[in-house]
Amino acid sequence: MEMEIGPGIPRKCQCGALTIVLKSKTTQNPGRKFYQCGAISGPNHVFKWLDEAHLEEFDVLAKK
């Protein structure tokens, strides 16, 4: 079974791990929060900016 990561808040990574919220330390996005796979950080694992995920989530809910 393949799990699809749709728009909105990513609660689980496609590898099955729960996502965690971290804070960016890059100079481009200092202090910006993001969702990341709780097990592995890398390609094919969740990485999504929290503000963007929340905007998408709002959009998804608005369409229901």
Answer yes or no whether residue 9 interacts with Zn ion by CB under 5 A.
no
Answer yes or no whether residue 13 interacts with Zn ion by CB under 5 A.
yes
The distance of closest approach from Cβ of residue 35 to Zn ion in the complex, given in angstroms and rounded to an integer, is 11
Hey, is 47 helix, strand or coil? strand
One of 10, 37, 48, 53 touching Zn ion (CB under 5 A): 37
Maximum Cα–Cα distance across the chain: 39
Answer yes or no whether residue 53 interacts with Zn ion by CB under 5 A.
no
For residues 21 and 33, the answer to whether their CB atoms sit within 8 Å is yes
**Residue (30 or 43) nearer to Zn ion, CB:** 43
From CA 36, how far away is CA 19, in angstroms rounded? 5
